[in-house]
Amino acid sequence: AWLGVRLAISVSLLFTASAVFEDQVGKFDWRQQFIGKVRFALFDTHSQASKKLLVATDKNVFASLNSRTGDLFWRHLDKTGPEGHLDSLLMYGQDAVVVVGNGRLLRSWETTVGGLKWETVLDTGSFKAAALVGVQDLVKYVAVLKKTAISLHDLSSGGQIWVENLPDSDTVQYQTIYSEGNGLVFVLGLVPNSHVVIVEYKIEDGEIMNKKSIQAAWMSSLESSCAVISSGILLCVDQITQSLYTLPLQSVEQKEMKQIHLQTLDLEVASGFQPVLTSTQPNPAQPPLAEFFLQLNPDHHILLQLKDGLIAPLRDFNPSNLVAFATTGEKTVAAVMSPKNETACSINLFSADTGRRHLDTTIIYHLDPNVGKPNKLYVHAFLKKDDSVGYRVMVQSEDHTLTFLQQPGRVVWMREEALADVVTMEMVDLPLTGTQAELEGEFGKKAVVTDGLLPMVLKRLSSQFILLQAWLAHLWKLFYDARKPRSSVKNDEVTIENLSRDEFNLQKMMVMVTASGKLFGIDSKSGAILWRHYLENIQPNSGFKLMVQRSTAHFPHPPQCTLLIKDKDIGLASLHVFNPIFGKKSHSSVPALPRPILQTLLLPIIDQDYAKVLLLIDDQYKVTAFPSTKNILQQLQDTASSIYFYLVDSSQGKLSGFRLRKDLSTELIWEVVIPTEVQKIVAVKGKRGNEHVHSQGRVMGDRSVLYKYLNPNLLAVVTESTDTHQERSFVGIFLIDGVTGRIVHEAVQRKARGPVHFVHSENWVVYVYWNSKFRRNEFSVLELFEGAELYNSTVFSSLDRPRPPQVLQQSYIFPAGISTLEATLTEKGITSRHLLVGLPSGSILSLPKLFLDPRRPEVVSEQTREENLIPYAPEMPIRTEWFINYNQTVSRVRGIHTAPSGLESTCLVVAYGLDIYQTRVFPSKQFDVLKDDYDYVLISSVLFGLFFATMISKRLAEVKLLNRAWR
């Protein structure tokens, strides 16, 4: 047995070289970090030179961006889900105060380095509002309003000064806090369509100074229709009565809100539009400004001023899309974005107190159809040397893009935050270069048929000439670059024009589909975004399925991808057909899909233009073909009887199989029903279509062959028990043939529960589950074998495989959590497989499949040693050198995509979650590539040396022979 351990060590040593060397860092991998859709953004106005931009996002990320470059200074990730939800972001000086998890925690961050200054656990209760409270021009406190209580905390230490219950909190909905530095905090509440409640608290001890209720029968929400302006005057707007209402918060005598008809101001709110008031309070210790914006319809804003109890318009902005206030020093300005023409908007600066336009402050914002409409404006104002106000703006658009602009319209940076939520992706080969394509075209089939001998010769000569030209140009470029100093030679910037396939097909186009409906084309080598396409009117919870209908291999036909967008609620689907290299929408006519689509099927049947046919099955089991040319339909008819598909209805636990009929209708041929009372289907996975298996079997120690059960139609179905008690819960694994519906294997993992991650490939299934008895993650591997002889070695048919396969299974303990699981994929499948495990810590582990082999013996014998089987050990090792992303953690990794490259040894890996990380892995090391530090000089000098040595010795031998002959 000692030998066995030694063998284990020696075998495991085979894999130790999978880590990268220090000088390889960043050579073929890159990472991009994202933050998600911005909900709060604040510029640091503390000092003029500050470059900080603080953001809090819907992904529960709190970060600081460099406003000059858009890079991250630091980023903090909170828990996912509502527990880490960022409710509010306030900033004062160097401190940023954040309320987290629906009022669970109050935190203060130091903004320069992102350190946590203090954290306070708040009392329970759902969060309503938070505000900074100042006393005598100094901000000292932060007030947090919950549903039933208000608490005041010290800004420097987080200590709670006082907490008070709110009066009548069961009937009154308290919504906002207001303070203006006069020693009082106002809490505003509302009984909808009845009255407004105003409670005054003393800052020192939380004593209620005053409480009053004001009739406001028209009001349904305070937050959306009211604002406080100019020394404590509550201003509300109502669409139905077309009026503004004012009320001084502190007045004792006024018992009613003063109504001001909008008509008297010559204004009118568009019907059905909830008017919006925008006010500004530059310093929390001082009253807000008397000026405010009123939005009358989606593109009409008006700047108004309250003076001596009267409201007067200062400036009418019609049309205007977005407005925002900004303050620098003592000056407050308003930035207004108004449409200029079809393709551009202009942003101008106006002084808030007069409404006068600042000269030379126009920023032109170009509307990009691929970016989406702007929906929020953040202004960073600063004082120039001549004391005039300068500004930069950050525009947030529908697709979560952030664009930072400065005068006169230069885009300083852009962040594509849609990429923080990648749903699915594909990797597409890049096209050939022009010259390569030229050669391809010459020997195309059509050319041979149409042209005669002479034109062919000429064509050949011309293409050779083009090649020569390209080669000379390449040489010239090399020569030219070599003369320049090293530093000025920039890496070739990848643009969409010079995209071409490299020698080993290592550079590919990553087509990424994001949840917001934005598609990206990213160069896998550099990570540069080469194209983007924004699909408008995508429902937020849509499902996406991306398919490559035609690869790049069919010159001159462009590659073609099809995206199926499915609305989760109503199930209706639509198709978006595009060119994955350029992102352009294809002109081909897309079939109308009036019924919900249940299943899609990409068949290897191709049209004359080499596009694979896509079958879409709707809820009446009717089949729509795309493309549906005559030729395709003919082929479909011919092969209809051999086209099978399956449907999964997890709500009823039903798996059903259908066969295509000649008239493109379908017939039900098998049914498997897993009762939902006991277990529910959580996932169904087939095998990947582009997977190759090189060897049919495994050679065993006694030189016999164990043949693999390679059923391409096999489905792995995973179920979880409805009973979640830790003793009775289980995870079910069913292997079902997708053509015949035959249950090839069914296994139950007892005392286990999900989430289950699994990979189904070749003849094996690997799944991970949570062992609820021992409270640990466990791996289990199932391998299927036909046995010592193949039933039919030439072709596999699900219809003709009477004997069930032998199933081997083994389980292991995995000492870490798991976020996602994927297997490596190579061109020919010769390279050994690795499993890529995304860990919650952000690391990606490349785990050799060799460790997940159900044939690992418990007792080592001569034969198992011959076979290189590692002796069984219950715990799966985790070696640090197996982490393929060294220190480049991928936060919240949700998926890993693998794609083969032109080199058999190399597999391209993209991990996505909040971040995107791309790298290459070499599961069997780089057996087909020379090492980076390969000594060319030595080998060539040895070669030349030997060559000359033979030449010289030959000459010497001749001389010697001659001399001997003379003798």
Residue among 192, 319, 556, 675 that touches other proteins (CB under 8 A): 675
- 747 near other proteins (CB under 8 A): yes
Residue among 801, 834, 849, 920 that touches other proteins (CB under 8 A): 801
> Least separation, in Å, of the C-beta of 525 and other proteins?
41
- 882 near other proteins (CB under 8 A): no
Q: Which long-range contacts (CB under 8 A, 24 or more apart) does 722-728 make?
A: 722/676, 722/677, 722/678, 722/679, 722/680, 723/678, 724/753, 726/751, 726/753, 726/772, 726/773, 727/751, 727/773
- Span from 594-602, 666-674, 686-694, 932-940 in contact with other proteins (CB under 8 A): 666-674
- Span from 11-19, 727-735, 903-911, 913-921 in contact with other proteins (CB under 8 A): 727-735
- 572 near other proteins (CB under 8 A): no
> Which parts of 54-93 interact with other proteins (CB under 8 A)?
none
Let me know: does 834 contact 846? Beta carbons within 8 Å. Answer: yes
Q: Looking up tokens 């880490």, which residue turns up?
A: 84
Structure tokens given for 894: 């949700």
- 733 near other proteins (CB under 8 A): yes
> Least separation, in Å, of the C-beta of 715 and other proteins?
12
> Least separation, in Å, of the C-beta of 42 and other proteins?
51
Between CA 404 and CA 633 the distance in angstroms is 51
Residue among 740, 843, 888, 924 that touches other proteins (CB under 8 A): 740
Residue among 462, 665, 690, 792 that touches other proteins (CB under 8 A): 792
Segments of 818-935 assigned E as strands: 820-823, 834-838, 844-848, 895-900, 907-912, 916-921
The residue type at 632:
I
**Cβ atoms within 10 Å, residue 70:** 16
> Least separation, in Å, of the C-beta of 673 and other proteins?
6
- Span from 207-215, 488-496, 661-669, 680-688 in contact with other proteins (CB under 8 A): 661-669
**Cβ atoms within 10 Å, residue 608:** 9
> Least separation, in Å, of the C-beta of 113 and other proteins?
44
Q: Phi/psi at 729 (nearest 5 deg)?
A: -70, 150
- 570 near other proteins (CB under 8 A): no
> Least separation, in Å, of the C-beta of 943 and other proteins?
46
In the complex with other proteins, which residue's Cβ is closer, 531 or 644?
A: 644
> Least separation, in Å, of the C-beta of 730 and other proteins?
7
Q: Phi/psi at 506 (nearest 5 deg)?
A: -90, -25
Q: Is 440 helix (H, G, I), strand (E, B) or coil?
A: helix
| Site size with other proteins, rule: CB under 8 A | 55
- 638 near other proteins (CB under 8 A): no
Is the bond preceding 408 in cis, omega lying within 30 degrees of 0? yes
Between CA 641 and CA 38 the distance in angstroms is 53
The residue type at 24:
Q
> Which parts of 807-836 interact with other proteins (CB under 8 A)?
807-813
Between CA 243 and CA 41 the distance in angstroms is 32
Let me know: does 445 contact 437? Beta carbons within 8 Å. Answer: no
Between CA 256 and CA 247 the distance in angstroms is 7
- 123 near other proteins (CB under 8 A): no
- Span from 104-112, 538-546, 557-565, 665-673 in contact with other proteins (CB under 8 A): 665-673
Terminal C-alpha separation, the chain: 73
CA-to-CA dists, residue 608 to 249, 631, 866, angstroms: 76, 8, 51
> Which parts of 411-430 interact with other proteins (CB under 8 A)?
none
Q: Phi/psi at 814 (nearest 5 deg)?
A: -115, 115
- 697 near other proteins (CB under 8 A): no
Q: Which residues contact 879 (CB under 8 A, 6 or more apart)?
A: 15, 16
In the complex with other proteins, which residue's Cβ is closer, 237 or 739?
A: 739
> Least separation, in Å, of the C-beta of 839 and other proteins?
19
In the complex with other proteins, which residue's Cβ is closer, 192 or 815?
A: 815
- 771 near other proteins (CB under 8 A): yes
What is the dihedral sign for C-alpha 571, 574, 577, 582?
Answer: negative
- 794 near other proteins (CB under 8 A): no
In the complex with other proteins, which residue's Cβ is closer, 729 or 889?
A: 729
Interface mask (CB under 8 A) for other proteins, residues 584-623, using x and -?
A: ----------------------------------------
- Span from 282-290, 741-749, 821-829, 939-947 in contact with other proteins (CB under 8 A): 741-749
Site for other proteins, rule CB under 8 A: 1-2, 5, 641, 659, 667-675, 678-679, 730, 732-733, 736, 740-743, 745-750, 771, 778, 780, 792, 799-802, 806-813, 854-855, 857-859, 872-875
